[in-house]
Structure 1
Amino acid sequence: MMNWYEIKNIETVDSPALIVYKERVQQNIQSVLRMRKAALLRPHVKTNKMAEVCKMMMDAGIAKFKCATIAEAEMLGMIKAPDVLLAYQPTAVKAKRLAALVEQYPSTKFSCLIDDTDNAEIIDGIFSANKICTDVYIDVNVGQNRTGIKPSGAFDLFQACKDLKGIHITGLHVYDGHIRDTDVNERQQKTDAAFQQAVELAEKIASSFNIKLKIVAGGSPTFPVHAQREDVECSPGTFVFWDYGYKTQFPDEPFDYAALVISRVVSVVDEHTICIDLGHKSVSAENAMEKRVHFLNAENVQPLGQSEEHLVLKVEDAALYKVGDVLYGVPYHICPTVALYERAVIVENNEAVDEWKVVARDRKITV
């Protein structure tokens, strides 16, 4: 029997290549829907960056999405996704592009984040000048310390911006990516403590202004915790492909690998060393050498060195390998790995049957 990842017509696929297993993507979508109903899901598309994958989620009933770039937002507009949150506070140049998206893709409701009064007023001015209004979410910093305003300052931000005409504050955005405990109980306790800050903020705004704000919370690591809450939109993203880093760090989550990279042996160096065509340009290289890729059909290899086009591996017996042999690898971090490829090879029933363009890897599509 073939392993699930093996491709019957692998000789038709050049390497290195990004491989997407369509049936397993579908299984991951069904798994996420078993954990949270579609109306309370807002998947982040930064992982997949492919219109076809997003259409699969839409076909499953998911109508709300989150993204990180204008190109990702435009990709969603192109497929008429109903509701798109740009999970980023746009500066003036990006806000002008977002306004252009609003006008170019009227079937999609676009929104964005704010965490700064002066910048919110700039966004307001841009949208007001175009005689349009966009929803915004206050980005609340609950410990990630990357973006967002601390909860203690968020009330004043709401008060300062609530009457602006070009933007309308509709919710709070709470990203807790700093919480990555493998222990389920520890992860839940930390997630609950961080989220409570947003709850208290929302309650204060509700009692002061009689306005109930939506809350968009979490990513893949904390998704199982937020999925138990009422009326909270959850934003997992990696779930659709999964990767080796999350699989080992969060074994409690039910998702399976659905995207791999393939590479080939290009040189047998000596009795314990081989070289494959999986360089920095082909798999995310932000982690240490030993945490970039895990090979499903060569688990005992050890990386010795990597350059732009090559990955040198130590093996127990190089005589077991020959030039042209295929290695199937699970990236430790799939999101930036996807962005390295212009297109993905699509596999169904263990055969390469199609290619999908990774359209949102570009910084610009048309806008």
Structure 2
Amino acid sequence: MTTPNVISPIAADLAPAVATPCFVVAEDRILHNLAVTAKACGGVERLMPHVKTHRAPWLIRLLLAHGVGAFKASTLAEVEMVLAAGATRVTWAFPTVNPQNIGRFVELARFFPNAELTGLVDSRHGLDVWAALLDGTSRSVNLRVDLDPGMGRTGIPMDDSALELARAVAGLGRLAGWHLYDGHIRGDAEERREKVHQLAAALDTLQSGLRRDGIEVDAVGGCSYTFDLWPRSAMPYVSPGTWVYSNAQHLRELAHHVWLAAGFVLTTVISTRNGTATLDAGSKAISPDKPQTQRFQGAGEIVMMNEEHTVVRNDTLNVGDRLLLVPEHTCTTAYLYSNALVRALDGRWEYRDQLGSERTVIPLPR
């Protein structure tokens, strides 16, 4: 299988001195992906991209400069990265009940007083923890009620229990609205459209319940498979994920968006034998959360993968060849690297920092 949407000279364009494995990014392709994503959902102002895809502060600044105004994050490290990069609207899309983590999030509001910070709750227990820590603090911190649209991971059922929780949050004066992540939705376009239609109807029922109480709020959510199917009237803000770099899976299954691969793993062939080639990019270098035979495209069938090696079936590669692999999942690939080798818009190559696997945050000044 050939590598989708790869400019073949890109690997040859890199200086031989580049160490491998290396995470490689093409900035012009990111801007292409932004343009087609914004068009698909009806405008860049509707996007609230999820930063777990890249965890790169330079990318936050790039998106801000091109009209993106709000971001979602999974971890506290990502929240602080987004704020430090200059964003002023951040949703922490992780309904934790850990008081230390919530306390840290609330503390960030003091150091970024111009930012709107939003957390998630999906239980009364979680709300009680938030309420205690928010008492007497900045009004810039609000909460969304996380809904479970059938994924079965987090979120409260889309029934009267969700209304009860939302009313309790509203009673604190902290209700920002709803959060609905439908990452379980797959199928062809019509199947996905029908599922979104059903969820939109359920969400409208919840919204109507709040309106009867005089409460008007919005919703944010969606995923790469549904963001373009949600009507703006139901969900003003959508959060497609992996479009920034795209990945092999989305290039196959969502080809109608015309996304381009923009994040790669550069690898070197270190050995060949019996119709196979051994690469220096193993499970610590690319898509470790995917089935072994599906972790990337661009080099041939994966025969074996260890921590630092991958053997592929290929009888045309030579020792010393370098390849650009397209990850099956770029979120967990970018997470493995503390920097990326970026081809800038002017054609220059430069290393740029990213969070990598960092889960802690830099101590804030007191």
Same fold (TM over 0.5): yes
1:362 to 333, 337, 358: 358
Aligned to 2:67: 61
How far residue 211 of structure 1 moved from its aligned partner, in angstroms, is: 1.1
2: CA distance, partners of 1:111 / 1:345? 32
How far residue 312 of structure 1 moved from its aligned partner, in angstroms, is: 1.1
TM-score (norm: length of structure 2): 0.92
Query: Kindly tell me: are residues 330 and 229 of structure 1, through their superposed partners in 2, closer, same or farther at Cα, counting changes over 3 Å?
Result: farther
2:114 to 104, 107, 120: 107
Aligned to 2:220: 216
How far residue 342 of structure 1 moved from its aligned partner, in angstroms, is: 0.9
1:187 to 189, 192, 213: 192
Q: Deviations over 1:179-223 (max 9, x none)?
A: 021x1111111121123211210111111x111111102011111
How many residues end up aligned between the 2 structures? 354
Query: Kindly tell me: are residues 356 and 204 of structure 1, through their superposed partners in 2, closer, same or farther at Cα, counting changes over 3 Å?
Result: same
Query: Kindly tell me: are residues 340 and 262 of structure 1, through their superposed partners in 2, closer, same or farther at Cα, counting changes over 3 Å?
Result: same
Q: Does 1:334 align with 2:338?
A: no
Q: Secondary structure at the match of 2:255?
A: coil
1: CA distance, partners of 2:129 / 2:240? 30
After superposition, where does 1:231-246 map in structure 2 within 5 Å?
232-246=236-250
How far residue 357 of structure 1 moved from its aligned partner, in angstroms, is: 1.0
Runs of 5+ consecutive residues of structure 1 not aligned to the other structure: none
User: Is contact 2:117-2:140 (8 Å) kept?
Assistant: no
After superposition, where does 1:294-309 map in structure 2 within 5 Å?
294-295=297-298, 298=299, 301-309=300-308
Query: Kindly tell me: are residues 111 and 173 of structure 1, through their superposed partners in 2, closer, same or farther at Cα, counting changes over 3 Å?
Result: same
2:129 to 99, 111, 122: 122
Q: Secondary structure at the match of 2:171?
A: coil
User: Is contact 1:138-1:172 (8 Å) kept?
Assistant: yes
Query: Kindly tell me: are residues 218 and 244 of structure 1, through their superposed partners in 2, closer, same or farther at Cα, counting changes over 3 Å?
Result: same
**Which segment is superposed worse, 341-350 or 83-92?**
341-350
**Which segment is superposed worse, 123-132 or 196-205?**
123-132
Q: Secondary structure at the match of 1:161?
A: helix
1:276 to 276, 279, 289: 279
User: Is contact 2:28-2:344 (8 Å) kept?
Assistant: yes
The two structures, once aligned, show a CA RMSD in angstroms of 1.9
Runs of 5+ consecutive residues of structure 2 not aligned to the other structure: 1-6
Q: Percent identity?
A: 25
Query: Kindly tell me: are residues 227 and 342 of structure 1, through their superposed partners in 2, closer, same or farther at Cα, counting changes over 3 Å?
Result: farther
User: Is contact 1:218-1:226 (8 Å) kept?
Assistant: yes
How far residue 129 of structure 1 moved from its aligned partner, in angstroms, is: 5.3
How far residue 280 of structure 1 moved from its aligned partner, in angstroms, is: 0.9
How far residue 75 of structure 1 moved from its aligned partner, in angstroms, is: 0.6
